[in-house]
Amino acid sequence: MLPCRVQCINCGAAYPPSEIRYTCECGGLLEVEHDLGKLRSQVSRELFDSRNSSFAIRHSQIANCSGVWRYRELVLPVPEESIISRPEGNTALYHNPHLAQWVGVEEFYLKHEGENPTGSFKDRGMTVGVTYAKLLGMKAVACAST
């Protein structure tokens, strides 16, 4: 796993990702920060592309079939066997030349998040949230939705 830390976007306080923390002590929101230098030397586009393959699908490699977890080095450090996925996130891009012309650009693509397992973009975040909640020993998870 590549090193990362959880950092407050307000005051800059840093915390280990294994610490159960909902907000910073100052009340600020937290974000995951990676060492991009190490990340660039250890992962590549080819690695991510290789995970999205028919081999992964045929051999039930759920993490590699996920449009979120195939990029796991960019998310949070999680052992592959702990990942909870449906798999979500590999929604298609749809080319729309009519919108491109209307907007005044050469190419325009739409991403249809309704193709996720529950029909919502929230599936992308929830696979990470539920996986990490389980790793931290949580017994239940709730997600507010409309």
51-103 tens-digit pLDDT = 876 666 666 677 888 889 988 888 887 888 899 998 898 888 999 999 999 99
Q: In whole angstroms, what is the distance from residue 89 CA to residue 133 CA?
A: 19
Least confident range from 9-23, 56-70, 96-110, 111-125: namely: 56-70
Specify whether the CB–CB gap between 27 and 11 falls below 8 A: no
User: pTM value?
Assistant: 0.77
Same domain, 53 and 104: yes
The rounded distance, in Å, linking the Cα atoms of 124 and 113 is: 9
Do residue 92 and residue 125 come from a single domain?
yes
Joined together, the tokens standing for residue 2 give 């590549």
Same domain? For 62 and 15 the reply is no
Is a pLDDT exceeding 60 seen at residue 46? yes
What proportion of the chain, given as a percentage, has pLDDT over 70?
93
Average pLDDT score over residue span 105-113: 95
Mean pLDDT of 97-117: 95
- The answer to whether position 143 is within a domain reads no
Structural domain for 22, as ranges: 1-34
**Higher local confidence (pLDDT), 127 or 36:** 127
Residue 118's identity, in one-letter code, is T
Please tell me the distance from the alpha carbon of residue 69 to that of residue 48, in angstroms, as a whole number. 9
| 15 in a structural domain | yes
Pair of tokens at residue 53: 């393959």
pLDDT of residue 140: 93
* Tokens (6 digits) for 45: 């586009």
Count of alpha carbons within 13 Å of 59, Cβ hemisphere only?
9
Q: What is the domain count for the chain? A: 2
